[in-house]
């Protein structure tokens, strides 16, 4: 790479925050919803959002250069597959995730050298408490978080369930299943299977309101509690999706040991996470890893690191299943 090329590349990387800023502008103004019915010229967009046309055009031009929108003749803009993910009026899009994350102040979303040197979690530093404690105290933000998680991960649920056959499982337990998407889709696929959703009380309250009156209600038991204290759920298959990456190694081992303490003999343990692969290559897990560094005590892990956690908790490693999604599934069996 020539010196000028390297300068241009590092300039792009350093100012990557502009992607975040401009996407948040588009989400807050609901530009993607505005274009859902067809292309619009910049003057029409500007009129609808009450922003100077030149300023609005510069933001839209930049987003179009990144593939978020498409600019045509005479400053006319239209949707792309990326902007479709920003629609507020479509369930399960990325809009909800942006809406949630952008509600936090900038210090909570910012990794700094001083926070790393002081061994502080940026969110805790900004708000004076851990994020899950903050969410429990702010129900509206917690509801935003659930919608955001569903928008981020919902499209991968079918892919994960395709990858791990549950045939023969009598009881399927989703540990930390939050919004209930996994348990609902699993029970729909396996009509003879019973489900258990275990999560914190706030999460269970939200899921209960969704399941009440549904055809799945009589097949799905909702159990609330703290998985660091106990997981009073007996099942022959346990599923953890984006749970262990939230926590440090000691905390993960505690969660897994609490599963072992209640599990049926030879129960399967399925862990869906973004497994860190080769160095020097981009991977979605390396993005999530820095998100963990910003908000929680956890991290994304390599397969060897997950095998170490399983072994420490008394769970035998069975194998790894890669999927078309950014998650892989680490499978273990209770010894």
Angle (CA) 215 219 220, round 5°: 100
Burial per residue of 194-203, b for 16 or more beta-carbon CB atoms within 10 angstroms, e otherwise = bbbbbbbebb
Q: Which of 245, 251, 283, 316 is catalytic?
A: 245
Question: Which bin fits 323, alpha (ψ -120 to 50), beta or left (φ > 0)?
Answer: beta
- Please choose, from the candidates 11, 325, 324, the residue with its C-alpha nearest in 3D space to the C-alpha of residue 152: 325
Q: Determine the Cα–Cα distance for residues 269 and 168; give it in Å rounded to an integer.
A: 14
Out of 137, 273, 283, 316, the active site residue is 273
CB 183 within 8 Å of CB 125: no
Contact 198, 227 (CB under 8 A): yes
Length of the chain: 335
Please count the other Cβ atoms lying within 10 Å of the Cβ belonging to residue 37: 8
Say if residue 209 is exposed, middle or buried (CB neighbours under 10 Å; 0-12, 13-18, 19+): exposed
Catalytic site residue 245? yes
Query: Of 146, 179, 300, 331, which is the active-site residue?
Result: 300
Distance from the Cα of residue 185 to its chain's centroid: 17
Round to whole Å and give the CA distance between 249 and 329: 18
Residue numbers annotated as active site: 245, 273, 300
């Amino acid at each position: 790479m020539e010196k000028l090329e390297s300068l241009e590349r590092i300039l792009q990387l350093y100012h990557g925050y502009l992607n975040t800023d401009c996407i948040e502008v588009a989400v807050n103004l609901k530009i993607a919803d505005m274009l859902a019915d067809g292309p619009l010229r910049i003057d029409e967009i500007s009129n609808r959002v009450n922003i100077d046309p030149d300023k609005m055009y510069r933001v839209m031009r930049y987003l179009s250069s990144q593939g978020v929108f498409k600019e045509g003749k005479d400053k006319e803009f239209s949707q792309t597959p990326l902007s479709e993910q920003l629609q507020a009026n479509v369930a399960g899009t990325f809009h909800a995730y942006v809406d949630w994350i952008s509600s936090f102040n900038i210090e909570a979303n910012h990794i700094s050298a001083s926070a790393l040197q002081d061994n502080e979690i940026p969110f805790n530093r900004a708000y004076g408490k851990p994020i899950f404690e903050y969410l429990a105290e702010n129900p509206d933000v917690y509801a935003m978080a659930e919608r955001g998680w569903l928008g981020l991960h919902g499209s991968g649920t079918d892919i994960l369930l395709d990858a791990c056959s549950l045939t023969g499982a009598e009881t399927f337990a989703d540990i930390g299943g939050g919004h209930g998407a996994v348990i609902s889709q699993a029970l729909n696929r396996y009509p003879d299977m019973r489900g258990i959703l275990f999560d914190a009380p706030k999460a269970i309250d939200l899921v209960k309101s969704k399941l009440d009156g549904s055809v799945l209600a009589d097949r799905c038991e909702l159990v609330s509690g703290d998985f660091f204290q106990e997981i009073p759920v007996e099942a022959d298959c346990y599923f953890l999706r984006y749970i262990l990456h939230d926590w440090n190694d000691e905390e993960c081992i505690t969660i897994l040991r609490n599963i072992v303490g209640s599990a049926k003999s030879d129960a399967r343990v399925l862990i869906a996470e973004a497994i860190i692969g080769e160095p020097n290559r981009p991977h979605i897990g390396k993005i999530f890893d820095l998100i963990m560094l910003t908000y929680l005590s956890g991290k994304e892990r390599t397969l060897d690191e997950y095998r170490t956690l399983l072994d420490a908790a008394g769970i035998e490693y069975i194998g790894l299943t890669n999927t078309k999604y950014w998650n892989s599934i680490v499978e273990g069996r209770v010894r």
